[in-house]
């Protein structure tokens, strides 16, 4: 599948570029800007249009001092970035991870703007994060961190301003603490300030599976477009958290074979297909997929190079770079994670003819059901699961086909098409609103 020339050079925008002996940027903000400029070039946007929507509208850096259980006080750095509110309130998750940086948060905030626009949800883009390692913290310490971080970003968040949600290593409990902290300062319950809440506190049915369900629907649509059956397809998943494990379960239920999965501790492989329900129980009990009896261990490099029909990166950014992209042996790469491919990896996969379902489309199911949660909170009603799931399926299918049509009209890949569609919608909104004052 890989031509020898490909290991040495990649054509990008008509230019031949050598991949040997050069360093590839993995700064997520630089990569987000590169993708933006490439789509803006194709849209022939002038510099004024670009300038208005390129930079984040607001960036807040906060110090988060936390009293630890041993009595000491530790300070963590936190961020909240609102990239755009042109189409609605900023919307985006909060990440607690040791690798969180301002540039990562700025990139993720920008991707949220495009993601909401690509599925036509009336939100802008935002993101937040705290540089910390929740795996080394006790639940009470995480609660104190969450509440202090919330109070630090409180002036800029709100149900009509900026609505956080869960992301890597944050969950419904963390959202409940954010909502409680915000509500206590307002003197009444404000459920719409966050999404991804526990159901009993105004969370939406179907929210916790929504990202994976959206990934699943875009994969179904890609299989239909490429004329191969999901039933019997061989699937590899990197990352077995919220997005990855639930996607594995849905794919398994569709009678595809999930042959390998990984998490931060290691990878497991079974050529005949892993028993996903048993693997989920194993992960729940032990905290990792490692040591699962129905599988053999493999390395992360081997996992990404497995011959398969569908590869789902569902962990973190930059999982596939120019150094490992050429080893990918998948027909479809479905980006459940945000930014798992560098632009150079993208170019390599393009050359290889791999059909990439870009992150802003593939994992937009989460923000779509977050929007439904917010709508239900505002109206003080709750929809049944069937209503949530059928609305989600309709949005994912419509959005996939809109991106596909754009890619066919423009003769570009799906990522560029998704960016074009999204950036066009944001530019149109900004232009119609005009420049204040
Ligand atoms: P999570 O914390 O539930 O899961 C992350 C998983 O990735 C864990 O299993 C972790 O062990 C694994 N992981 C971390 N580093 C790894 C590595 N180097 N190799 C293999 N596995 C590794 O997070 P999540 O919510 O599932 O998010 C995963 C990705 O999906 C992120 O990029 C996130 O931004 C994106 N995403 C999530 C949602 C959502 O609603 N959860 C929505 C949109 C996008």
Task: Name the residue among 370, 396, 70 with its Cα closest to residue 193.
Answer: 370
**DSSP state string for 10-30:** EEETTEEEE-TT-PPP--HHH
The answer to whether residues 282 and 276 touch, using CB atoms and an 8 Å cutoff, is no
Mean pLDDT of 290-312: 97
Closest atom of ligand 1 to CA, residue 165: 40
Q: What's the pLDDT score for residue 23?
A: 65
Q: What's the pLDDT score for residue 25?
A: 75
Length of the chain: 437
Whole-angstrom distance, CA of residue 29 vs CA of residue 110: 9
**45: CA distance to ligand 1 center in Å?**
34
User: Strands, DSSP E only, in 351-419?
Assistant: 355-357
Residues with catalytic annotation?
127
What CATH architecture applies to the domain 210-362?
3-Layer(aba) Sandwich (3.40)
Q: What's the pLDDT score for residue 101?
A: 97
Q: How far is CA 327 from the centre of its chain?
A: 23
Q: Is the pLDDT of residue 3 over 80?
A: no
Q: Is the pLDDT of residue 15 over 50?
A: no
Task: Name the residue among 198, 144, 205, 209 with its Cα closest to residue 175.
Answer: 198
pLDDT in tens, 215-225: 999 999 999 99
**205: CA distance to ligand 1 center in Å?**
21
160 exposure class (CB count in 10 Å sphere: 0-12, 13-18, 19+): exposed
Q: Is the pLDDT of residue 358 over 70?
A: yes
Query: In the β-sheet with 310-313, what is the strand arrangement from edge to edge?
Result: 296-298, 266-269, 257-263, 234-238, 310-313, 332-334, 355-357
Q: Which long-range contacts (CB under 8 A, 24 or more apart) does 303-307 make?
A: 303/236, 303/238, 303/260, 303/262, 303/267, 303/269, 304/236, 304/238, 304/328, 305/329, 306/236, 306/259, 306/260, 306/269, 307/234
- Residue in 97, 241, 247, 362 to alter for ligand 1 test, most ligand atoms within 8 A of Cβ: 241
Q: What's the pLDDT score for residue 321?
A: 95
Mean pLDDT of 47-52: 94
Whole-angstrom distance, CA of residue 265 vs CA of residue 251: 23
pLDDT in tens, 419-436: 999 999 999 999 999 999
Q: Is the pLDDT of residue 4 over 80?
A: no
Mean pLDDT of 124-135: 98
Q: What's the pLDDT score for residue 24?
A: 73
Q: Is the pLDDT of residue 308 over 80?
A: yes
Whole-angstrom distance, CA of residue 410 vs CA of residue 413: 9
Beta strands 266-269; 257-263: pairing state: antiparallel
Mean pLDDT of 47-67: 97
Q: What's the pLDDT score for residue 334?
A: 98
CATH 3.40.50.720-classified regions of the chain: 210-362
Q: Is the pLDDT of residue 8 over 60?
A: no
- Residue in 167, 237, 306 to alter for ligand 1 test, most ligand atoms within 8 A of Cβ: 167
Assess whether the C-beta atom of 112 lies below 6 angstroms from ligand 1.
no
Q: Is the pLDDT of residue 274 over 50?
A: yes
pLDDT in tens, 183-208: 999 999 999 999 999 999 999 999 99
Q: What's the pLDDT score for residue 1?
A: 32
**Of 137 and 14, more confident:** 137
Assess whether the C-beta atom of 262 lies below 6 angstroms from ligand 1.
yes
CATH of region 55-190, choose from 3.90.380.10, 3.40.50.10860, 3.40.50.2000, 3.40.1360.10: 3.40.50.10860
Assess whether the C-beta atom of 150 lies below 6 angstroms from ligand 1.
no
User: Quick check: pTM over 0.85?
Assistant: yes
Mean pLDDT of 331-350: 95
Token pair for 269: 């492989």
For 335, 384, 410, the CA distances from 46, given in Å and listed in that order, are 30, 46, 19
pLDDT band with cut points at 50, 70 and 90 for residue 22: low
Mean pLDDT of 344-354: 95
**Of 25 and 244, more confident:** 244
Whole-angstrom distance, CA of residue 221 vs CA of residue 232: 16
Beta strands 58-67; 15-18: pairing state: unpaired
Q: Of all helices (H) and strands (E), which one includes residue 83? A: strand 73-84
pLDDT averaged over every residue in the chain: 94
Q: DSSP letter for 228, please.
A: -
**323: CA distance to ligand 1 center in Å?**
22
Q: Is the pLDDT of residue 2 over 90?
A: no
pLDDT band with cut points at 50, 70 and 90 for residue 19: very low
pLDDT band with cut points at 50, 70 and 90 for residue 343: confident
Q: DSSP letter for 88, please.
A: S
Q: Is the pLDDT of residue 350 over 60?
A: yes
385 exposure class (CB count in 10 Å sphere: 0-12, 13-18, 19+): exposed
In DSSP terms, 11 is beta-bridged to: 16
Q: What's the pLDDT score for residue 134?
A: 97
Q: What's the pLDDT score for residue 31?
A: 86
68 exposure class (CB count in 10 Å sphere: 0-12, 13-18, 19+): middle
pLDDT in tens, 238-265: 999 999 999 999 999 999 999 999 999 9
Q: What's the pLDDT score for residue 115?
A: 98
């Amino acid at each position: 599948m890989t031509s020898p020339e490909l290991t040495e050079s990649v054509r990008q925008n008509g230019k031949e570029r050598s991949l040997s002996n050069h360093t590839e940027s993995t700064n997520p903000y630089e990569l987000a800007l590169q993708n933006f400029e490439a789509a803006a070039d194709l849209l022939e946007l002038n510099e004024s249009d670009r300038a208005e929507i390129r930079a984040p509208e607001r960036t807040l850096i906060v110090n988060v001092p936390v009293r630890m259980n041993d009595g000491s006080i530790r300070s963590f750095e936190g961020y909240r970035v609102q990239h755009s509110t042109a189409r609605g309130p900023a919307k985006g998750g909060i990440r607690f991870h040791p690798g969180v940086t301002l540039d990562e948060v700025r990139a993720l905030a920008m991707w949220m703007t495009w993601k909401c626009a690509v599925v036509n949800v009336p939100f802008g883009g935002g993101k937040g994060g705290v540089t910390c390692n929740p795996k080394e913290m006790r639940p009470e310490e995480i609660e104190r961190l969450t509440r202090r971080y919330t109070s630090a970003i409180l002036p800029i968040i709100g149900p009509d301003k900026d609505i956080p949600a869960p992301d890597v290593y944050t969950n419904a409990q963390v959202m409940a603490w954010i909502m409680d902290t915000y509500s206590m300062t307002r003197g009444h319950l404000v459920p719409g300030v966050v999404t991804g809440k526990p159901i009993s506190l105004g969370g939406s049915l179907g929210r916790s599976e929504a990202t994976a369900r959206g990934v699943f629907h875009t994969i179904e649509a890609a299989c239909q477009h490429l004329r191969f059956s999901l039933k019997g397809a061989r699937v590899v998943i990197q990352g077995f958290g919220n997005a990855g494990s639930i996607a594995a379960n849905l794919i398994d239920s569709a009678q595809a074979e999930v042959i390998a999965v990984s998490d931060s501790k290691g990878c497991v492989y079974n050529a005949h297909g892993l028993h996903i329900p048993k693997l989920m129980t194993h992960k729940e009990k032990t905290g990792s997929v490692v040591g699962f009896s129905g599988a053999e261990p493999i390395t992360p490099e081997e996992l990404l190079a497995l011959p398969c029909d569908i590869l789902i990166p569902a962990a973190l950014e930059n999982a596939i770079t120019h150094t490992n992209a050429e080893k990918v042996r998948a027909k479809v790469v479905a980006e459940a994670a945000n930014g798992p491919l560098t632009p150079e990896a993208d170019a390599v996969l393009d050359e290889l003819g791999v059909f990439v379902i870009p992150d802003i489309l593939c994992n937009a199911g989460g923000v779509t059901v977050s929007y439904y949660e917010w709508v239900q909170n505002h109206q003080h009603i709750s929809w049944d699961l069937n209503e949530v799931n059928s609305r989600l399926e309709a949005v994912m299918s419509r959005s996939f086909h809109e991106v596909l049509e754009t890619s066919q009209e423009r003769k570009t890949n799906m990522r560029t098409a998704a960016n074009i569609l999204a950036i066009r919608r944001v530019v149109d909104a900004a232009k119609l609103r005009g420049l204040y004052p």
